[in-house]
Each structure stands twice: as structure tokens, then as C-alpha cells.
Amino acid sequence: MRVRKSVASGLLLLLMIYAISPYVALWRLKSAIDSGDVSTLEAAIDWRSVRDGIKQDIADGIIGPVDSDLSANTLPAFGASFMAGIAGSSVDHDFTPQNIVTVMRQLQSSETSINPFACFDWAFFESPTRFNVTINLPDSDPDEGHLRLRMELHRGWWMLKRAWIPQDLMERASQRT
């Protein structure tokens, strides 16, 4: 009986640690941004995956410079791919740990301060190895002003694998760089 209680207690403790671990990873990410710890950011974010996701959003016209009304263009597919290529190069060049720290510090010190970790809208496990977070951003459109993050369990650690950045935050960040 005593062994069963010990095993059950141990399993319950492991389950609690597992359930809390993505929040700890988010806290670590926020702390790295606040302190300018570039090496922690490099380790906590799958930069290639996040950049590819942002490039895909730009190519799909969700964010960025691609105009969604290409009907007047005689070469819409070419024009869209050209703009996506330019935007993709910009994402590769500008979306770095150093620039993220710089932009977040500027946004946090501005009159309309942004703390992307202040207001969780929701967070949930999509699967045992995938955790999604939606964060409300102050001074943003309530329907579109959500920063969405997907974290995945990789070799025992939660890593940021995908970010959906609202257009207004992208515009505010680009105005400050």
C-alpha cells in the first residue's frame, strides 16, 4: 500500500512538473528578452522554423508588404513571389535575437508600452509535445491584436517553434528599427 502511494505521488509530481514546464519556458523567454540574454534566446527559439513561419505569413498576405488585391497586376503570381522573396530576405536579416531584444526594449519603454507576456488570453496543450499560447496586446485591435505562439517539446525542453505576429505589432516594430 505504501509503495502504491509513493508511486502515485511520484507520478502526480511528474505530471505537475510537465504541466508547469511550458509556463517556465515562457518565463525564461521573457526574462531573456528583458535582460538582453541573446544566448538564451538563441537556445529557446527555433529561429529557422519561426522565420519560415513569418515568411509564410507574408507570402500568404496575412502580414507584411504583400498586397492582397493583385487583380490589377498583369503578373500576379510573379509579383507576389517577388514581394515574398524580398520580405523573406528581410525576415532572415532582421529577425535575430539581438534585434528582438532591441525592438522589445524600445516597445516596452515607449508611451504605449507593450509587454507581450502580460496578458494571456489562453494557453493549452494541443498534444503532449505541443503547447499553444495566445497573448492579448495592449493598444491593439481586439479582434486582431493577438500574439500567437506555438511551443514544442524538443529533447526534453520547450522551444518556440512558431509565432503569428499581428500586423500592427510588425508595423510598430519596423518603425522603431
Predicted model pTM: 0.73
Q: Point out the least confidently predicted range of 21-35, 43-57, 129-143.
A: 129-143
Is the residue at 82 inside a domain?
Answer: yes
User: Where residue 73 falls among pLDDT bands split at 50, 70, 90?
Assistant: very low
Is the residue at 105 inside a domain?
Answer: yes
71, with CB counted inside 10 A (0-12, 13-18, 19+), is exposed
CB within 8 A of 162, min separation 6: which ones? Answer: 49, 50, 53, 149, 150
Residue-number span of the structural domain to which 150 is assigned: 21-176
Is the residue at 41 inside a domain?
Answer: yes
C-alpha closest to that of 92 among 54, 145, 130: 54
Is the residue at 151 inside a domain?
Answer: yes
Q: Considering the chain, what percentage of its residues have pLDDT values greater than 90?
A: 34
pLDDT (mean) for 87-93: 75
Q: Point out the least confidently predicted range of 65-69, 141-145, 162-166.
A: 65-69
What are the φ and ψ backbone dihedral angles of 93, each rounded to 5 degrees?
-80, -40
C-alpha closest to that of 56 among 165, 155, 172: 165
pLDDT at 68: 41
Q: What is the mean pLDDT of the chain?
A: 78
pLDDT (mean) for 122-132: 94
Is the residue at 16 inside a domain?
Answer: no
pLDDT at 115: 57
Is the residue at 80 inside a domain?
Answer: yes
Q: Is residue 163 helix, strand or coil? A: strand
pLDDT at 69: 47
Is the residue at 152 inside a domain?
Answer: yes
User: Where residue 75 falls among pLDDT bands split at 50, 70, 90?
Assistant: very low
Number of domains making up the chain: 1
53: left (phi over 0), alpha (psi -120 to 50) or beta: alpha
Is the residue at 11 inside a domain?
Answer: no
User: Where residue 21 falls among pLDDT bands split at 50, 70, 90?
Assistant: very high
